[in-house]
Structure 1
Amino acid sequence: MPSDTASSAVERRFERIDRLVTIDFPRRGVIGLLYEAAREELGRPLCLHAAEMLKNGLSAGRVVLIATGWLDRPHVSLSIAETDGPPGAAVLARALHVGLGAIPVVLVEEEILGPMTSVMHAAGLRCVAPDEALMAAGGSGALHPASVIALPKERREAERLAVNLLDRLDVGAFVAIEKGGENRRGRIRTSRGADTTDALGKADAVLEACRARGVPTLGIGDGGNEIGMGLIHERLAGRLRNSIGSDGTSDDGVVPVNRTDALVAATVSNWGAYGVAAALAMLLDRPGVLHTVETEQRILEACAAAGFIDGVTGYVGPSADGLSLDVHLNLVRLLRTFVNDGVNTAAWRNYPDRLEKLAAERGKDAR
């Protein structure tokens, strides 16, 4: 086994990814609390932990379920959704397909099936029905399949869908990105405390079904009210704004209760997904697993063309969480710099075999 010292040396390379995707550019003032709580719970870089879990659970032909989409102005229209979440889902879907041969099946509300499909196409994946995606994965012609399907808003319907998917498909992992999670009262709240339960698909039903069958689960969020934050529910109670509900307890607050196996807290949920893709690229020694700056621009422009809005500004455009296109492009540019540096560094290439060599070399130096 690699020594603790060598393992620490490797993990420091992934620290840069975590640090980058948690810089508080929008000065929201919450990411420090979320990240600290998650690190205390997991004890290692969050993006590395998530990427390793996905790498161990997925392989060629296995399905990854990805829940995303937040209907941002339900009091106006159920067809309005935000640009944080769908890009991250598309990028991570692409990374898991390119890197591991996984087949992504994305779950969103029925109202945004078309817009989400357009975003997936911008990432280079061709959306077809789940059964067709399975057939395409085994075909002789080049095709990179994915699927986008409706996630029911009624709890029992969502539970039935979950059972059906797990019975029919070889599911190797479940991921939720910027997806509202249920508190102990079964309510889904925005970070400001507004109740949006009726408007959103019940991704918790899929999460619970996956956990019951031992399928690895990951939540990615940025506000404390998303699926995944149940892992740190008790750490956030009373410390996060609106974590205590109107009844004076955390049961009816914004923090979800269902736990996931891994959690990535990021400044923007999309960035958390990008960080996991970058960590996976480093683990696999394949820089191409992380999308390019050009693909990032194409994805965000596809979001705007499909009518997604920036959840902070309310404008339709290639931005997310109040941060302009240039900010997101530069973040991807920096992540790619980290990946290229990481995969070309002999200290940890062919992870974890190189760790053993590194430990032995350091032992010689010490003597």
Structure 2
Amino acid sequence: MYKKYFEQIEKIVRKNLDKRGMDQIRLVGELEKGARELWTSATVFIVTGFCIRDTLTGETDGPIGAISLAGALEQLGKKVVIITDKYSKEILERCCVVKKICAPVESVPHKAAKSFCDQLIEDYKPSHIIAIERPGRAKDGHCYSMRGEDLSDIVPNTDILFERAIERGITTLAVGDGGNEVGMGKVRSFVVHYVHQGEKICAALSCDCLLVAGVSNWGGHALTAALSLLSDSMLLHDMYTEIKLLKSMVEVGGVDGCTKKRALTVDGLSLEENIEILQKLRLLVELAMDEQKKNIRAI
């Protein structure tokens, strides 16, 4: 009965995709597919954090979506491990405190990334791995910003986790908004054709489930909203928690990925614009749960 609601969630988080040419990508049913995969999960790796070269700190897009999803999964009894690098580690740790999340935050080093990632797989044995706004290596082996800046010399290679997942049959998911994030290899032809410098920046790796959102944080919220539908419980946090999360990130150096400023904005969008998306998702979940209750009473 929730099919129409999954579709509406996808529509809500597609706002702003036209700004980068990503609106041409239309994957049908990926949100529901991804949510149902996570519903069956046991241990989930959430890989996030996108370093801004000018500030050498993580950006505000990615961590909030990751924390939103981590909180939902923990409420559902899943084990979560958050994986990032030194640029976003403190940002994510602060967010975990705000949301009272128990998940460990692992930081992949630039050197010895391969052995570190291999050990993470062995130690935690994930059933699912999801990337939310995480730089992915392009076909040339380098990773890039949306502007085409080569970040390979500073960003640890976390593609290794997804390569190992493919080898071992671990389910992979990804959320992105620009084409240069892990998982975007699934829609490479669209990124190359419609996104500025798409041929250069497009991440090579594909994934089992890909959610394209106007802002990657919104994609994390979308998955949380979808899990809310599957569990008949509100797993999305409220606007006040969203504000606390953003403030906590900025306090420890988080910056807007577009403006490169320490401000309560994400991808150049105001706090109000981001809150509006969260509120729309919460309202939709509430409507769906009300409909479910009415249907049960009618039986």
Q: Tell me which interval the TM-score lies in, with the shorter structure as reference length.
A: over 0.9
Q: 96, 108, 131: which one pairs with 1:176?
A: 131
List aligned pairs for 1:239-250, cutoff 5 A: 239-244=194-199
| SS of structure 2 residue aligned to 1:345 | helix
Aligned length: 297
What's the counterpart of residue 288 of structure 2? 342
CA-to-partner distance for each residue in 1:6-30, whole Å, 9 max, x for gaps? xxx63222111011111128x6142
What's the counterpart of residue 13 of structure 1? 5
Tell whether 2:281 aligns with 1:326: no
Unpaired segments ≥5 residues, structure 1: 1-8, 126-144, 245-252, 351-360, 362-367
Deviation at 1:321, TM superposition (A): 0.8
Contact 1:182 1:204 in 2 (8 A): yes
Deviation at 1:112, TM superposition (A): 3.1
- Alpha-carbon distance in structure 2 between the residues aligned to 1:85 and 1:168: 25
Deviation at 1:281, TM superposition (A): 0.4
Unpaired segments ≥5 residues, structure 2: none
Stretches (4+) displaced over 6 A: 347-350
What is the percent sequence identity of the aligned residues? 28
Change (3 A) 1:257 1:101: same
Residue 327 of structure 1 aligns with an amino acid whose one-letter code is: E
Contact 1:84 1:310 in 2 (8 A): yes
Q: 20, 25, 31: which one pairs with 1:47?
A: 31
What's the counterpart of residue 254 of structure 1? 201
- Alpha-carbon distance in structure 1 between the residues aligned to 2:248 and 2:188: 35
- Alpha-carbon distance in structure 1 between the residues aligned to 2:295 and 2:208: 26
Tell whether 2:45 aligns with 1:65: yes
List aligned pairs for 1:28-47, cutoff 5 A: 28-34=19-25, 36=26, 39=27, 43-44=28-29, 46-47=30-31
Contact 2:81 2:104 in 1 (8 A): yes
What's the counterpart of residue 317 of structure 1? 263
Tell whether 2:142 aligns with 1:213: no
Tell whether 2:202 aligns with 1:202: no
- Alpha-carbon distance in structure 2 between the residues aligned to 1:21 and 1:107: 24
List aligned pairs for 1:1-367, cutoff 5 A: 10-24=2-16, 28-34=19-25, 36=26, 39=27, 43-44=28-29, 46-56=30-40, 58=41, 62-72=42-52, 74=53, 76-78=54-56, 80-98=57-75, 100-125=76-101, 145-154=102-111, 157-244=112-199, 253-287=200-234, 289-346=235-292
| SS of structure 1 residue aligned to 2:156 | coil
Residue 17 of structure 1 aligns with an amino acid whose one-letter code is: I
- Alpha-carbon distance in structure 2 between the residues aligned to 1:346 and 1:203: 41
Deviation at 1:170, TM superposition (A): 3.4
- Structure 1 or 2, whichever has the larger Rg, is 1
TM-score, normalised on structure 2?
0.93
- Alpha-carbon distance in structure 2 between the residues aligned to 1:324 and 1:238: 29
Change (3 A) 1:15 1:349: farther
Deviation at 1:309, TM superposition (A): 0.8
